[in-house]
Structure 1
């Protein structure tokens, strides 16, 4: 769908695979068959040499990060992408809405058509994409970094200390 609107688009799908996951392998192979001979679709995994450094490089080189999971807890892909200043288009499922501030740091979507529409919008409007990317980085800084967690713990410990002092 996106390729009809944005001719020079490339799609990189990176999977983290386990040797003992037959269902995962089934989907991986089905995806590879579906991609077929399209040289603009690149299917990569940890089992063919793609590690953390490569994932980092691909994320940094990307214009938009897509996380179209059917089920997802708190996936690191989204937070990593936001921290790198990339807008995210992600499924509105599981823990993803806790990570994506819809229309500010990216888009939460339901179906494939909506996903494609949002990706096209971001690819064609770099000003909005850059603004969302900057908002995403700030959102991660405020909500998910260790410094925020440490501040929360210090506030908690201070509240215990204040209660202890009052009870004496």
Structure 2
């Protein structure tokens, strides 16, 4: 039975929740789009929270008041590489929450340049660790983040809609 998972309790995040913070650095941010499912961004630090329009030290615990506001929040999350989990993916989301990232999981970090365009580092968790891309989290703002992503060999997309790693309209 080793490695066997018995799915006796369906997992669904609290749909009134906007953020979840625990004992480690960063917070998990949720977005509840009108198309259903949930967007998640894990390990959000000050730069991401600021980009989302949140107070870094007091991000909103509850979701937006209207669905239009929640959809706009989801759009901002997608610009940071949020993962969308369909309604039927509750088990996958639970496993991510319980186990954290695996070496083969996708790793994406984004920097939005003030003059336009987006810098993206896209790799696996294992490769990100080897490259030391965790330095990205030392950036105080998006401009610094863009510089670090560039130094780490990230790719610049002058037109963000051409970036295949972001779910942009």
TM-score w.r.t. the length of structure 1 is: 0.29
**TM-score normalised by structure 2 residue count:** 0.29
Structure with higher Rg: it is 1
Higher strand share: 2
